[in-house]
Amino acid sequence: MTTPKTLGTCDKGHQFFKSSDCPSCPTCEKERKPNSGFLSRLGAPAKRALENNGITTLEQLSKFTEKEILQLHGMGPSSLPKLRVALEEEGLSFRNQTK
């Protein structure tokens, strides 16, 4: 069984079909995808999850545990290895979990 797609229109006037209630416009997402930096390694949902929580630098990311990052809406486990590598390249890491 397939989910019916509905026509949506973003604030910029782009029209798109979506099968979920996610309001993001695929055209706008492609236009705002960074070409460099650690956010460029992530898919749109994971990138939005970080940005919506004010995490736009590796220094900010390093203040969180992996568990905290995984709890963000839109963040999936496949993003963690990419984030770990980006942090390690800058001599950083996720904050250690306290028990």
Ranges of residues in the chain with a pLDDT under 70 are 1-3, 21-23, 29-36, 98-99
- Convert the pLDDT of each residue in 71-91 to its tens digit: 999 999 999 999 999 999 999
CATH 1.10.150.20, the chain: domain bounds: 35-99
How many H-runs (helices) and E-runs (strands) does the chain carry? 5, 2
Q: What is the pLDDT of residue 78?
A: 94
pTM score, whole prediction: 0.68
CATH code for the structural domain at 35-99: 1.10.150.20
Q: What is the pLDDT of residue 33?
A: 65
DSSP string, 27-67: HHHHHH--SSSGGGGS-HHHHHHHHHTT--SHHHHTTS-HH
Q: Classify residue 80 by its DSSP letter.
A: H
Whole-number Å distance between alpha carbons of 64 and 9: 35
